[in-house]
Amino acid sequence: MDLSLSTETIGDRTVVRVGGEIDVYTAPKLREQLVELVNDGSFHLVVDMESVDFLDSTGLGVLVGGLKRVRAHEGSLRLVCNQERILKIFRITGLTKVFPIHTSVEEAVQATD
Amino acid sequence: MATVELRFSALPEHVRTARLVAAAVARRAGADEAVLDEVRLAVGEACSRAVGLHQSSGVTAPVKVALIEEEKQFSIEVGDEAPHAVAGGDTPGTAQDGETDVEEDEMGLAVISGLVDDVEVTTGPNGGLIRMTWPTTPPATALV
């Protein structure tokens, strides 16, 4: 299994649960999923990365692209991540300042700013 | 000669294979467990970049990875054969897609430089090479 994706609606938020490896090969699948959600009118996204084993800059690029899309509709894109190895990549690229990163889906769903 | 050499067609699906091989060789070379995550990520970034460069330049040659075990250090070289633009020689009015490629390329390099302390990037008209080096722990038996 390279990448698994599932979505769930909680209130006005759409939670995208991602599992496996997000890299140059699998990132297009995540991009398609995010684009599809935005095209279908879901502008407040929570990407749950707790089951992600690997993330590279291609994956970061897809998340930044998703953020750009939801922002065009005054939406939001929040991340859920507690894994140090994944958080490190956000830190070294300075993206911790760009994405709100939460410790649980519940926290991300309830967050307002 | 490198401890292990790998050549793969410039396709995204093979980058994972390069990551797995690099991590396996690094582990055998005595790289610290914490360093293995870095090795995996840095090799993935360098190979993704090389694949992107080959694909955007229409280069059919394989991407080359050399995993080199030396005394007290472990090095990885990722070589591409894509013609690299000379710094400052960018043509104004590049197409939108071209700009995106450049941004992704820079993001990959940013991750590598953030992760690896010892990294050398060389580029030329016939290709580029990223060399990354990590220290390895000598075996405990070496202590007297």
Please give the C-alpha separations between residue B92 and each of A35, B23, B57, B123, in angstroms, as whole numbers: 30, 40, 18, 21
String of DSSP letters for B29-55: HT--HHHHHHHHHHHHHHHHHHHHHHH
The predicted structure's pLDDT at residue B136 = 85
- Taken in order of first residue, the domains within chain A and their CATH numbers are 3-110 (3.30.750.24)
The predicted structure's pLDDT at residue B103 = 64
Q: How far B126 CA sits from the closest chain A CA (Å)?
A: 24
| Contacts with A100 (C-beta within 8 Å, 6 or more apart), sequence order | A76, A78, A79, A108, A111
Query: What is the C-alpha to C-alpha distance for residues B144 and B142, in angstroms, rounded to an integer?
Result: 6
Residue A8 sits at the chain B interface (C-beta within 8 Å) = no
Query: What is the C-alpha to C-alpha distance for residues B83 and A5, in angstroms, rounded to an integer?
Result: 37
The predicted structure's pLDDT at residue B92 = 46
Task: State the residue for tokens 């994956």.
Answer: A59
pLDDT per residue, tens digit, chain A (113 aa), is 589 999 999 999 999 999 999 999 999 999 999 999 999 999 999 999 999 999 999 999 999 999 999 999 999 999 999 999 999 999 999 999 999 999 999 999 999 87
Contact B51 A58 (CB under 8 A): no
Judge whether A9 and A24 are in contact, CB under 8 Å. Answer: no
Contact B48 A21 (CB under 8 A): no
Residue A53 sits at the chain B interface (C-beta within 8 Å) = no
Interface confidence: ipTM more than 0.85: yes
Residue A85 sits at the chain B interface (C-beta within 8 Å) = yes
Residue B13 sits at the chain A interface (C-beta within 8 Å) = yes
- Taken in order of first residue, the domains within chain B and their CATH numbers are 4-142 (3.30.565.10)
Using a CB-CB distance cutoff of 8 angstroms, which residues of chain A are in contact with residue B108? 56-58
Angle between helices A84-92 and A57-71 (to 10 degrees): 70
Query: Does residue A74 sit in helix, strand or coil?
Result: coil
**Residue B18 is encoded by which pair of tokens?**
């390069």
Q: How far A56 CA sits from the closest chain B CA (Å)?
A: 7
Residue type, B54: H
**Residue B86 is encoded by which pair of tokens?**
């000379």
Q: Which residues of chain B have a pLDDT value below 50?
A: 89-98
**DSSP state for residue A82 in the 8-state scheme:** -
Using a CB-CB distance cutoff of 8 angstroms, which residues of chain B are in contact with residue A89? 41, 111
The predicted structure's pLDDT at residue B95 = 44
The predicted structure's pLDDT at residue B34 = 83
